[in-house]
Structure 1
Amino acid sequence: MRKWFIAMLILTGIFFVPACSVSYRTENEVLKQEEEETENSEGYITVGFSQVGSESDWRAANTQSFLDTFTAENGYYLLYEDAQNKQENQLKAVRSFILQEVDYILLDPVVETGWDSVLQEAKDAGIPVIVSDRKVVVSDESLYTCWVGSNFEEEGRKAGEWLANYLETRGRSRETINLVTLQGTLDSSAQLGRTEGFSEVLALHKNWNMLEYQSADFTQTKAQEVMERFLAKYPDIDVVICENDNMAFGAIDAIHEAGKTCGPDGDIIIISFDAVRAAFEAMQEGKINMMVECNPLQGPVVADIIQQLERGEDVAKVRYMDEKYFDTSMDLDFIIETRTY
């Protein structure tokens, strides 16, 4: 672990990694700085982290979890790259990490496919790759060490099962229920899993009519635009499935601007995913009916896996985060007070 960047870290005393930097080094630049290495860097574990971007409150909490975990004080040096929701940026970042001979690569992929070549390069270099949050689909699963994240299919099923029970308690189980879905970035793991899981429950209820699916890329602005089109096109929407909280915020804004209401006492039922603090506040205000948690605090879990690997231990191929669901029947004041994200 005599990496040039650790040497420079110790020489300069710089321990902070900017959360939004995007910089890629050429091979010549890497080799030049390796030649300048003068300091013994033993004791640090170097981790290269390629993050999807910063498209949502959940993503900000997820990124912060890694920044707080992989610190010099904890024995790590973190190289962080924000891909700005572009796979080509992630491919560059991973190849840069390989050139810099990091000890571990952490990848939160924008989409699931297109990773075989670069992961083969990491494997050939002897660098373990830990995938977090979103998944990869590869021809050979040995190309990555393990995956850490949420059971997105189960999240979708939880939302569907909650809706069925909610409609039953409201005496609406036999009514025709018109739904629309604001999907996340297409082909991302969260979008695929949440859509699939909810669709399994949808298929069990012949009176549920899914009017349309449309992606809003997990962003609030685009979700508001899509929801405005939904409202203009469909006069009788009963339920909006929002595949993350920020899209729920955009949908709520569009609903209010259209002169309609939402939430437990409103015209439209809002179901969301992620369960960040701002979403709890919106639920407290009566704007959201139910949320399925997607736990972003993955940093300590990944660090635990790295420590297992450092000890030469085998690790599970899949590691799910602990998660719950929330609705307006719960003690929201207490939840908000104790929420860390």
Structure 2
Amino acid sequence: MGKRICLLGCVFLLLSGCGREQELENPAFLDTTEESENLIVVGLAQVGSESDWRLANTQSYKETFTEENGYYLLFEDGQQKQENQVKAVRNFILQEVDYIVLDPIVETGWDAVLKEAKDAGIPVILSDRSVQVEDSELYTCWVGSDFKAEGEKAGMWLLDYLKEKDRLEEEIQIVTLQGTLGSTAQIGRTEGFNRVLGDQENWVMLEQQSGEFTQAKAKEVMEYFLRTYPDIDVVVCENDNMAFGAMDAMREAGKSFGKKGDIIVIAFDATEAALEAVERGEIHVDFECNPLLGPVVDKTIKKLELGQKVDKIQYVEETYFD
């Protein structure tokens, strides 16, 4: 891991005019002192800023990978496009960073660029979302949530809730606002919830559509659901922003929801604003997805710096709120 801050100055002028979004606030960027050379250079290829969860996740990394903590951070916002993330990883390789942290927007299409990183001797740590590649040695490890378990827990919570309300024998009509199709969170949460649903003869999944993890798109899809299906009992929202979009649509349609309403709202992420909605009784339950992955990746990098082995899969601890 000998490639430090001094190696970045020679390529900055070549790259600064290419529309890249970087964290260049640190004045030590061109510093070639011995102290600066000891900083660990991390390139973070983030998905985007599509949700409150994502903003908190990015902030966690920015607060962790500081000069005071021994790091220099290069940040790239992929703006919800895989091609932007691929370009970001290639730029990091060109700059000879010490580590690449990648939060892939979807799971497929990463073999080529990850092989380039491996050939360059740069460890890649996957964050939040995972990848499907032919060779798992193309990345060092993955850090994040057990999304399938989250989905299963949501299904089991609904089963317990219906039992508590003496509704186990009723037909329960469900719609799902899925996240970005092909993303790890979407795949896991959908599969997990549907596994529980498949064991319930009287649960009917009316339709599942992507709300793209955004409030605006979720509102649009929920409006369609409400027009198409007049008797929805449950809306499963695969993140908090989509829950807010769904609630916007239900309010405008005059539909009651929440703990004192007709439609059960299930959400994921447990952001601050959503937990306030849980307290108000608007969201029935919210399953935590911990965005504070910066310290976990920091600990992983420090182990690698010492030549220690790290677990290939590292789940973070989470709970739920109802």
TM-score scaled by structure 1? Answer: 0.87
Partner residue of 2:191 out of 182, 196, 199: 196
Q: Distance in 2 between matches of 1:53 and 1:88?
A: 12
The aligned runs of 1:126-205 (5 Å cut-off) are: 126-205=121-200
Give the superposition deviation at 1:286.
Answer: 1.5
1:182-201 CA distance string (max 9 Å, x none): 00000000000000000100
Task: Output the amino acid matched with 1:272.
Answer: A
8 A contact 1:3–1:101 mirrored in 2: no
1:26-57 CA distance string (max 9 Å, x none): xxxxxxxx9x9854432100000000000000
Q: Which residue of 1 aligns with 2:40?
A: 45
Partner residue of 2:231 out of 223, 233, 236: 236
Q: Distance in 1 between matches of 2:42 and 2:317?
A: 24
The aligned runs of 1:279-318 (5 Å cut-off) are: 279-318=274-313
> Percent identical across equivalent pairs?
63
Partner residue of 2:94 out of 99, 110, 113: 99
8 A contact 2:4–2:97 mirrored in 1: no
Aligned: 1:218 with 2:213:
yes
Give the superposition deviation at 1:260.
Answer: 1.1
8 A contact 2:269–2:288 mirrored in 1: yes
The aligned runs of 1:23-62 (5 Å cut-off) are: 23=20, 39-40=33-34, 41-62=36-57
8 A contact 1:7–1:39 mirrored in 2: no
Task: Output the amino acid matched with 1:89.
Answer: N
1:247-292 CA distance string (max 9 Å, x none): 0000001111111111111010000000001001111222100111
Task: Decide which moves more: 36-45 or 136-145.
Answer: 36-45
Q: Which residue of 1 aligns with 2:14?
A: none
Q: Distance in 2 between matches of 1:276 and 1:5?
A: 38
Partner residue of 1:278 out of 269, 273, 277: 273
Gaps of at least 5 residues in structure 1 are 9-20, 26-33, 328-341
> What secondary structure is seen at the aligned counterpart in 2 of 1:142?
helix
Task: Output the amino acid matched with 1:193.
Answer: G
Task: Output the amino acid matched with 1:302.
Answer: V
1:115-147 CA distance string (max 9 Å, x none): 000000000000000000000110000000000
Q: Distance in 2 between matches of 1:2 and 1:241?
A: 46
Task: Output the amino acid matched with 1:136.
Answer: V
> What secondary structure is seen at the aligned counterpart in 1 of 2:154?
helix
8 A contact 1:184–1:190 mirrored in 2: yes
Q: Which residue of 2 aligns with 1:115?
A: 110
How has the CA–CA distance of structure 1 residues 267 and 129 changed in structure 2, closer, same or farther, with 3 Å as cutoff? same
CA RMSD of aligned residues (A): 1.8
How has the CA–CA distance of structure 1 residues 211 and 2 changed in structure 2, closer, same or farther, with 3 Å as cutoff? closer
Q: Distance in 2 between matches of 1:204 and 1:261?
A: 28
Task: Output the amino acid matched with 1:231.
Answer: L
Gaps of at least 5 residues in structure 2 are 11-17, 23-28
Q: Which residue of 2 aligns with 1:258?
A: 253
> What secondary structure is seen at the aligned counterpart in 2 of 1:135?
coil
Q: Distance in 2 between matches of 1:23 and 1:254?
A: 36
TM-score scaled by structure 2? Answer: 0.92
Q: Which aligned runs of 4 or more in structure 1 are off by greater than 2 angstroms? A: 1-8, 36-42
Task: Output the amino acid matched with 2:235.
Answer: V
